[in-house]
Amino acid sequence: MSAAKAKMREKKMRNQPASVQYPSPSHVESRAENGGEGDDAGSRTTLSISSGTSVTRAELTRILGGQSDAHPSWKRQQTPPVRHGWVRGHHNGDGGYDTEMPNHITAGAFARARAAEVSAMLKAATELTCSSHVFRALPKHMRRRAMSHNTKRLPRRLRNVANRMREKSLQAGLKKKKELVKSKSRKARRRHGNLLLEFNRRQRKNIWLETHIWHAKRFHMVKKWGYCLGVRPTYKCYRPCYRAMSSHCLLQDLSYYCCIELKGEEDKLLAALTQLTCKEAGPTFAAAMFLSGARQGSVTVYRAGQYPSDPLGPVTFLWRPQTPGLTPRQLWIWAHPALKQDLLPELQSVCQCSEAMAPPVEPEVSRAEADPSPQAEPNPDNELKAGAKRKRCCKDAGEPPAKRILGDGTRLPTSPVTWRSSSTGIVINDLTMEIVRYRLIGPQSHSVLAETLEAATVCDELKSSPFWWPEHCKDRSNMKLHQQQTDVFNVLKGIYSSGELPPGTVLGLTVDDPRLTLPRQKVKAAPCVNRDQVGDEEKRNQLMLKGVPLQCCQSFLWEQSVRENVTDNKISEQELNRMRTELLVPGSRLGPGPQQGRVPVLLVHQPGKQVGDELGSWGSGWDLLLPKGWGMAFWVPLVYRGVRVAGLHMSLKHSQDKAAPHFPHDYPDCPAGSRFQEEQEAEFLETFRRRPPAKRTNYIKHGCLAPFRCPWQQLAEEWELLATDGGAERKGDGQTQKARKSHEVMEEVTSQQTVAAASPPSFTVLSFLGHKFHKLNCIFLSAHQNRKSLRLLSSWCRPLTCRGQRRGRGAAVALPLSDSAVTSFHSAHKMSVVWVRLTLLSKGKPEAHAMVCAPTAEDLKLFGKSPENCGPQEPPHKDHYKSRINHKKKSSKTATPSQVSDDPTASTDPHSPSDLILGLWPDPLPSVTSHCSRVTLGWVTQGDFSLSVGRGEALGFVSVSGLLHTLLRQPPELRGTLLLRNPTSLHYRFVRLNIDV
């Protein structure tokens, strides 16, 4: 036994009674071991070999020895042994006890022995062993919770001991623990000014939307594109959100979308902007409908003059309606923040706006460069402001400002937001975070708006005031316009669904502060149903057919001065509540006085599903545009009307149900899209590598070459080669033959690559595949691009009905699918992939990066027999890399690194085993088209079980040449039937291909 252990045991046994006996040393050892597992035994004082025994004896002698004079024999017997290792049998000299022990019992000895035992037992029973805590001495009914933490819960007589023990344990803890930085108390931290300072500090990196605090309490937040955005609520609401979208109203904060304002002469603006777009892809900036300002348009923007190869991304735009007095036109381009960094330089170069104008420095701002919010400056003085408020402002001048940041908090106050062109006179203004944009999706979104907003009440005050509205009220024409807008808004209440309106309709409006009409409790906005008046019916029809009349699209939101005035003169929540308390009848509604703000807003209709035959105008709604600073004032009243609030996740699902590509997920050709893809791949790879190798999916065995990305470029190139080579011998080309063929082709590809790398790059030149950041040369055809050819392709994909007629809208324009037509189409669209929607015909849930494959003739035959057939299986592949990884592991274990490099197989191996990941194909990939038993046509970019269709639905791209190639071989009644296989599965499922135009 170690010394420390012995010491501990001795300490523990200090107060325990001694077992009075005479054990042999060997026995003592065994007892000691026994005692080790025991709890609080009594007899273990005898353990420390001879000294322990001697102590025992000494004690006993002390107890009994008082009477030693009366019994000298006892004393002799009890004399502690001098020798080390006391053994009873070797107790030489005395010759045993039996002679010493008297045969009779004397009362005194009897009593003494009992008394000694009693005192020993008493000591053992009353005093505690050292290891136990004080309150073990307490009976159970006196024990209290957290007694060891708070000694005051102990009876007073035990407190001292407990305190001592507690200090001891605390000191032991302190040695390890690092001293924490002492922060302010919670109360101090939560004080309003300090809280604002803290918020401002946290907003320095990522922009917070105005509804950030509201969202942060309820949503999972992510930092994306320089913003803090809510992804999905913390509560479960996937289906409720879908229900809200399809039957009521779903609310999203889209303020993170960037607005870029262009001002200038109309023809000069159009001349600059036409370089970015092309008429082929649909209406552009110059379309008459949009140019008037009555509709909002959307367009895909390309790099200047590069159509159709270098897209930037989709934008929506809105022209300001022409006012008679104003010649320069105003245009707002709304773009996704991921797109802004590409779009803004392009716009600057197109408009030749290189002169950066210094931001307008207000006189008050000059004193504090560090002020993070030059936009939100104190209000101009007026007599209405309370004196206390002014005092606060004066105090603020000396201190660091603790003001709410409105607008972009990350931007330096000195960085330019305005650029002017000296030659064309165009001014580009970056209005990021200057305008709040809320999106309401759903058929009842107009009723929500109608309940929340109330057209501004006219105030006829004659004296001049700092507010913009009384000034405007003086103008007769303004009032007339306001009346018209109010009428249209009232008519809007009566329509049945938001989808009935012409897409992109714009309505300008001036409304009262919605906080005044805030309901006490959450209510669900119901559609207005009084349809009795005949005149209203006519007006409604007019509105549904023609949209909002042009003059009503005008709004004062376009005016920067009005926007600033409205932002500055917003009544604070506190002030509003104070006014509420001063009401004569508590709980009655606050009347709109002159000092309460009138807010110019812009309502923009958002079209729903526009492509495809089924579920037309699903997911339509309204966008609400507000001046900054008023975000929460409108948000809470909207939420109180029973809308659901959703985050980024739901907007992805929204576009998925609309079968529309979502930016930046489904724009792999755009720079933002390719950036997104790289991020996504890294993220997926990270999660994949985090799993233990035995638990990972082995994608090689599943025959999935790229489970985390889609090598579009390689796909397009391979199909190009297949189409050009296979064109001659197309007839009777079995799939197996083709697969073999494609292997040969692949070799050609690799040989061509080396050539291509040397030759100067042109449009069709293959870029080096192994290079990660290659530029995509293939063209992504989607609904925003070449519509005519898409329509043709779409008609080809549809199966023939029994009468041999094609269904649908494309019937009139359709050319019959033939070799010649395909060749001509193919020559027009080389290296293209096309946006398709795939509907599963049986069960199954498609996932992202699932493969779209062409079925073989046998598959189709099987499918023709029983359409419920689940689909063929892919034979499992072999993982050749696994052995190499294992080999590498083994060799690294046994051999030194130098020996490994000497290994001939390792040196010839193109990829060193170190970057091999178990279950993933290393770069460069083999032929992606012919890797599996079914030829791959493309990949899915997003797929899920669609609640609107009731089946699995996937959206993705397929190669045009591959698609044509497949369609030609399919029997006409089964045309457009393809196979889909998830990356983690070997099961192919039949899908119907749709190209929605």
97 interacts with another protein by CB under 8 A: yes
Give the SS3 label for residue 657.
Answer: helix
34 interacts with another protein by CB under 8 A: yes
**Interacting residue with another protein among 105, 180, 288, 812 (CB under 8 A):** 105
Residues 6+ apart with CB under 8 A from 838: 846, 852, 940, 943, 953, 954, 955, 956, 978, 980, 991, 992, 993, 994
Return the number of the residue (34 or 577) whose C-beta is nearest another protein: 34
Return the number of the residue (139 or 398) whose C-beta is nearest another protein: 139
Return the number of the residue (22 or 496) whose C-beta is nearest another protein: 22
Return the number of the residue (131 or 572) whose C-beta is nearest another protein: 131
Task: Name the one range near another protein by CB under 8 A: 111-119, 340-348, 470-478, 631-639.
Answer: 111-119
Minimum separation from the CB atom of position 119 to another protein (A): 5
**Interacting residue with another protein among 116, 351, 648, 937 (CB under 8 A):** 116
416 interacts with another protein by CB under 8 A: no
895 interacts with another protein by CB under 8 A: no
Minimum separation from the CB atom of position 160 to another protein (A): 13
Q: How many Å apart are CA 255 and CA 435, to the nearest integer?
A: 7
DSSP 431: -
Could you tell me which of 863, 909, 864, 866 has the C-alpha nearest to residue 888? Answer: 909
Q: Residue 28's Cα: distance from chain center in Å?
A: 68
What does the block give as tokens for 895? Answer: 């051999």
Rounded to whole angstroms, what are the CA distances from 484 to 167, 280, 447, 480, 526?
A: 80, 37, 19, 6, 24
277 interacts with another protein by CB under 8 A: no
38 interacts with another protein by CB under 8 A: yes
**Interacting residue with another protein among 11, 62, 72, 119 (CB under 8 A):** 119
Could you tell me which of 785, 793, 792 has the C-alpha nearest to residue 669? Answer: 785
The residues in 58-77 that bind another protein, with binding defined as CB under 8 A, are 67, 70, 77
Task: Name the one range near another protein by CB under 8 A: 41-49, 475-483, 688-696, 732-740.
Answer: 41-49
**Backbone torsions φ then ψ of 665, nearest 5 degrees:** -65, -40
- HEC string of 750-803? HHHHHHHHHCCCCCCCCCCCCCCCCCCCCEEECCCCCHHHHHHHHHHHCCCCCC
125 interacts with another protein by CB under 8 A: yes
**Interacting residue with another protein among 8, 25, 79, 117 (CB under 8 A):** 117
Minimum separation from the CB atom of position 152 to another protein (A): 19
Minimum separation from the CB atom of position 40 to another protein (A): 6
Return the number of the residue (6 or 41) whose C-beta is nearest another protein: 41
The strand pairing partners of 780, in sequence order, are 833
**Interacting residue with another protein among 124, 278, 405, 779 (CB under 8 A):** 124
40 interacts with another protein by CB under 8 A: yes
The residues in 136-155 that bind another protein, with binding defined as CB under 8 A, are 137-140
Q: How many Å apart are CA 682 and CA 891, to the nearest integer?
A: 29
Q: How many Å apart are CA 967 and CA 978, to the nearest integer?
A: 10
The amino acid at residue 927 is S
- CB-based contact 112:64 (threshold 8 Å): yes
Task: Name the one range near another protein by CB under 8 A: 123-131, 163-171, 530-538, 815-823.
Answer: 123-131
Q: What's the chain's length in residues?
A: 997
Return the number of the residue (118 or 361) whose C-beta is nearest another protein: 118
Return the number of the residue (53 or 421) whose C-beta is nearest another protein: 53
Pairing verdict, β 435-441 and 355-357: unpaired
750 interacts with another protein by CB under 8 A: no
Return the number of the residue (46 or 486) whose C-beta is nearest another protein: 46
Return the number of the residue (160 or 572) whose C-beta is nearest another protein: 160
Q: How many Å apart are CA 431 and CA 261, to the nearest integer?
A: 7
Minimum separation from the CB atom of position 49 to another protein (A): 15
Minimum separation from the CB atom of position 50 to another protein (A): 16
654-689: b or e for each residue (b if 16 or more CB lie within 10 Å)?
bbbbbbbbbbbbbbbbbbbbbebbeebbeeeeeebe
CB atoms within 10 A of CB 192: 9
Task: Name the one range near another protein by CB under 8 A: 98-106, 229-237, 327-335, 389-397.
Answer: 98-106
Return the number of the residue (17 or 374) whose C-beta is nearest another protein: 17
What does the block give as tokens for 809? Answer: 């809208």
Q: How many Å apart are CA 860 and CA 838, to the nearest integer?
A: 17
81 interacts with another protein by CB under 8 A: no
**Interacting residue with another protein among 6, 29, 41, 91 (CB under 8 A):** 41
Rounded to whole angstroms, what are the CA distances from 45 to 10, 25, 55, 126?
A: 7, 13, 8, 18
- CB-based contact 627:208 (threshold 8 Å): no
The residues in 5-24 that bind another protein, with binding defined as CB under 8 A, are 17, 19-24
Task: Name the one range near another protein by CB under 8 A: 97-105, 202-210, 635-643, 911-919.
Answer: 97-105
What does the block give as tokens for 394? Answer: 């004066």
Return the number of the residue (126 or 464) whose C-beta is nearest another protein: 126
768 interacts with another protein by CB under 8 A: no
Q: How many Å apart are CA 302 and CA 299, to the nearest integer?
A: 10
**Interacting residue with another protein among 36, 72, 108, 734 (CB under 8 A):** 108
Minimum separation from the CB atom of position 41 to another protein (A): 5
Return the number of the residue (120 or 450) whose C-beta is nearest another protein: 120
Minimum separation from the CB atom of position 167 to another protein (A): 23
- CB-based contact 112:62 (threshold 8 Å): no
Count of residues engaged in binding another protein, rule: CB under 8 A: 50
Binding residues vs another protein (CB under 8 A): 17, 19-24, 27, 31, 34, 38-43, 67, 70, 77, 88-89, 97-98, 101-108, 110-119, 121-122, 124-126, 137-140
